[in-house]
Amino acid sequence: MVKKIARIVLPALLLAACSVREAEPTAVTNPIETVSLFPSSRVSVQFDEETTLLVEASLAQGDAGVTKALGDGWADLGVKSLRRVFPYAGEFEPRTRREGLHRFYYVEFDQDVPGTKAAQDLSALPGVVHVTPQLPIETRSIWNDPYFGMQWHLVNGRYEGGDINVEKVWKEFTVGSPNVIVSVVDAGVNMTHEDLAPHLIPCYPDGSGSFNFNNHTPTVVPSESHGTHVAGIIAAVSNNGVGVAGVAGGNAAAGLPGVKIMSCQIMDMYGNEPDYYEAIKHGADHGAVILQCSWGFSPDLNHDGFKTDEEIALYRSYTIDDLPEFKAAIDYFIKYAGCDNDGNQLPDAPMKGGVAVFAAGNDTFDFDPLVSYDPIIAVASFDMTGKRSSFSNYGEWIDLAAPGGETNTAIYSTIGTEGAGGYGGKDYIGTSMACPHVSGVAALLASYFGGPGFTAEECRTRLLRGAVANAFSGSRYIGRKLDAYGAFTFDPNTPILPPELAWVGTTPRQLAHNQVAELEVKASDPCGQRVLLKVASGNAVLEENRVRIDARELGPGDHRIRLVGENEDHATAELKLEVNVLSNQRPVKTTDAPQGFVLDGEDSQITLNLADFFQDPDNDPLNFKATLLPAELATVMVTDQGQLEVKALRSGVGELTLEVSDGQLVSITTFPLVVKHPGMPAFVYPSSATSFVNVVIDASEPVQVQLEAYSASGARAFEKQQEADSNHPIRLSVSGLAPGLYTLKVSYSGKTHTLQFSKW
């Protein structure tokens, strides 16, 4: 358990005590005030060393001997006794004397001597260095409840930010008012508990006590006392010397009662189906203005004690509209609590409308489709150190976080069964315990600000906007941290300022069809609040403050990406980006690409890197496919590395077709492929044809070629001139020739070569 944080301190009055040895005694003009200032008959005196030795030497003769040795001035003061402030210390006496502690003595006077007068008279006597009147002490604890020191969630002396910052509210504003009623819809509250009974009001129609909405009978308090524990956090009687203190539990020692608790039981030990909708409405109809619900609906839809993935998925799909009775009851409470039938605030009501507070849940889920209903204040849990409790649900739907504890740091409050009362915290952790802290602070707000014109909306605003913003780091957000003092000091008229959003660096205005842009967003808030970013429209992926825009998912054309930043006050700001995505462009042949391919003869081969000859305007990766006609001319293959490998099988001329693809678009290019006859300056292929023949020459650069064809009878069939080189054979049409054997004369570079082919 947490150790008590109370410790003994001296009040500021100590600053008023000082030495007046050099001054003349001041006449007492108002003895009544003098007596009331230091009424104690004992003071402490510091002697000089010489006087100390005289006192020690005379103590053996008794007090009378001491005062006689010190002089007549002492005898006239009415001194009864002297004794050392720091007694003889045995083996530690040498260092005690070395530090001068043996020179301090208590001097006790007759009861009728005012402490202030004694201090003044002593200060004027020889040998007296300093006189300190007897000052009162007080404990650090604001309340005298025995277990208050264990309630770290109310006042945490160990970890800053580990409580709800309520102590200053008690001192400066209020401790609660019986005019405020909190409806505790929960397990039954023990109506006879010593620390709760003064603050409990009957809920049962005949006025007998708590009401059980399971069977519409007077309550039966279950042994686990969940409702009693929750009620104690809100309104256990404070400063009554008993048990624990409540958030709004009053100040019994000062005669100030706290807020009232109405117990509306919906849980019992007997498995009855509860009428929780009726219980919620009942509070609004009978004077409650705060609805306290440390429960929620479970994904265990089969009621078998297990939450399967299928059940969780189905529960996650629910919305508030899937439970219209629940929504209607909540809306009714918020609208009509503290109001007449027409929705007007009742004359004696502390607040117009009601505040509904629910526990967020303990399943480490990032959702609750029903408690996330916006008018509800959903409460998550933090531990003694001010960090999120490991079990707490989380998400942007949560409004506030309050102390719910953690293993070994539970919430201490009232417990007990019917007819008995007690206190504990061993097993009491959870958002169930966090929730009543918020209800208690809401009750304090209604107690202090309550009256005509005070609304539930202002109470809610103070709770949410007065809380500590940006209090929790990490991705598991649990809302703002409840701050009772912040709720009281917050001005609800403070304008809500939106966050500020800006792109970091330059933003693209145009993207290639396959381009992925990674952009950074700077999100800040003028009040230091947490800013949640989301993509409101457009196709983009957001991870924290980085935006990824993939042009392949956008498609060609103009696009607008719109981001929205929302702070914890729900103020929003927009950030837009307009970008044009270009259409995909086909791969193209580079200027370095060859016009054709020439192999020197059978078994010769070439290997070429196709990436040197093709490129994609959009820088897409390219895939290649090669085919050759006629296939028997050579073997062709494209490797995984994009290299074209060609190995000649026989001499001749063919067409090599390359298909180049960027994954979407394909470009097709055809190249002549020549396998030369070794050592021949010219040859014709095929040697027998019906449509055309190819004439291949051996020239690295284009030259002018003269062609003449003659039939077997010697008649000239045709004559032609054309530029050619090794990579560009001359294609001759022979379809108009008569069948037969022909002689072809090929002349270039000053030489003539005679070839033959047949037409059939």
| pLDDT tens per residue across span 334-356 | 999 999 999 999 999 999 999 99
Question: What Rg do the C-alpha atoms of the chain give, in angstroms?
Answer: 48
Alpha-carbon distance of 274 to 482, in angstroms, equals: 30
User: For residue 113, what pLDDT is reported?
Assistant: 67
User: For residue 4, what pLDDT is reported?
Assistant: 22
Distance from chain centroid for Cα 282: 36
Q: Is 482 in contact with 401 (CB distance < 8 Å)?
A: yes
Q: Is 252 in contact with 240 (CB distance < 8 Å)?
A: yes
User: For residue 35, what pLDDT is reported?
Assistant: 36
CA 97-103-109 angle, to 5 degrees, is 150
Residue 64 lies in a domain: yes
Confidence band, pLDDT 50/70/90 cuts, at residue 90:
very high
pLDDT over 80 (residue 36)? no
The string of DSSP codes covering 636-687 is: EEE-TTSEEEEEE-SSEEEEEEEEEE-SS-EEEEEEEEEEPPTT-SEEEESS
Residues 6+ apart with CB under 8 A from 408: none
Confidence band, pLDDT 50/70/90 cuts, at residue 496:
very high
194 and 77 in a single domain? The answer is no
CA distances from 541 to 185, 389, 516 (A): 43, 30, 11
Residue 141 lies in a domain: no
126-154: average pLDDT: 84
Residue 508 lies in a domain: yes
Alpha-carbon distance of 154 to 140, in angstroms, equals: 14
pLDDT over 90 (residue 677)? no
Q: Between residues 21 and 556, which one has the greater pLDDT? A: 556
Helix, coil or strand: residue 710: strand
CATH code where residue 732 lies: 2.60.40.1930
528-541: average pLDDT: 93
Domain count, the chain: 5
Q: What are the tens digits of pLDDT across the range 613-638?
A: 999 998 899 999 999 999 999 999 99
User: For residue 428, what pLDDT is reported?
Assistant: 92
625 and 602 in a single domain? The answer is yes
Q: What are the tens digits of pLDDT across the range 219-247?
A: 555 445 899 999 999 999 999 999 999 99
| Sole residue written with tokens 């330059």 | 506
Helix, coil or strand: residue 324: helix
Alpha-carbon distance of 128 to 116, in angstroms, equals: 16
549-554: average pLDDT: 94
Of 155-164, 199-208, 215-224, the least confident: 215-224
Of 213-227, 398-412, 579-593, the least confident: 213-227
657 and 687 in a single domain? The answer is no
Alpha-carbon distance of 168 to 707, in angstroms, equals: 112
* Residue where a domain stops, chosen among 675, 694, 710: 675
The string of DSSP codes covering 331-365 is: HHHHHHTTB-TTSPBPTT-S-BS-EEEEE--SS--
pLDDT over 60 (residue 416)? yes
Give the mean pLDDT of the chain.
87
Torsion of CA 10, 16, 17, 18, to 10 degrees: 140
pLDDT over 80 (residue 22)? no
Confidence band, pLDDT 50/70/90 cuts, at residue 417:
low
Of 56-60, 460-464, 666-670, the least confident: 56-60
Residue 143 lies in a domain: no
Q: Is 43 in contact with 122 (CB distance < 8 Å)?
A: yes
129-158: average pLDDT: 84
Read off the amino acid at residue 152.
W
- Looking only at Cα atoms, what is the longest distance across the chain? 170
CA distances from 328 to 325, 459, 619 (A): 5, 21, 60
Confidence band, pLDDT 50/70/90 cuts, at residue 271:
low
Of 103-107, 131-135, 275-279, 578-582, the least confident: 131-135
Read off the amino acid at residue 738.
A
User: For residue 216, what pLDDT is reported?
Assistant: 66
| Sole residue written with tokens 């959702």 | 367
Of 30-39, 665-674, 747-756, the least confident: 30-39
User: For residue 152, what pLDDT is reported?
Assistant: 96
690 and 661 in a single domain? The answer is no
Reported as half-sphere exposure (CB side, CA atoms, 13 A), residue 1 has a value of 17
pLDDT over 90 (residue 275)? no
282 and 403 in a single domain? The answer is yes
250 and 396 in a single domain? The answer is yes
Confidence band, pLDDT 50/70/90 cuts, at residue 601:
confident
576 and 603 in a single domain? The answer is no
User: For residue 474, what pLDDT is reported?
Assistant: 81
* Residue where a domain stops, chosen among 489, 512, 540: 489
Residue 10 lies in a domain: no
255-265: average pLDDT: 95
Q: What are the tens digits of pLDDT across the range 437-488?
A: 999 999 999 999 999 999 999 999 999 999 999 888 788 999 999 999 999 9
Q: Is 71 in contact with 125 (CB distance < 8 Å)?
A: yes
Q: Which residues pair with 564 in a beta bridge?
A: 534, 574
* Residue where a domain stops, chosen among 458, 489, 520: 489
Q: Between residues 328 and 417, which one has the greater pLDDT? A: 328
Residues in the chain: 760
Q: Please, is 44 exposed, middle or buried when counting C-beta atoms within 10 Å of its C-beta (0-12, 13-18, 19+)?
A: middle
575 and 613 in a single domain? The answer is no
Alpha-carbon distance of 515 to 460, in angstroms, equals: 48
Q: Is 211 in contact with 218 (CB distance < 8 Å)?
A: yes
103-132: average pLDDT: 82
Alpha-carbon distance of 333 to 439, in angstroms, equals: 15
Alpha-carbon distance of 18 to 8, in angstroms, equals: 22
Q: Is 575 in contact with 565 (CB distance < 8 Å)?
A: yes
Alpha-carbon distance of 565 to 424, in angstroms, equals: 44
Answer whether the bond into residue 556 is a cis peptide, omega within 30°: no
User: For residue 12, what pLDDT is reported?
Assistant: 28
By C-alpha distance, which of 12, 236, 33 is closest to 115? 33
Q: What is the span of the domain harbouring residue 258?
A: 148-489
Percent pLDDT > 70 in the chain is 88
72 and 25 in a single domain? The answer is yes
493-512: average pLDDT: 94
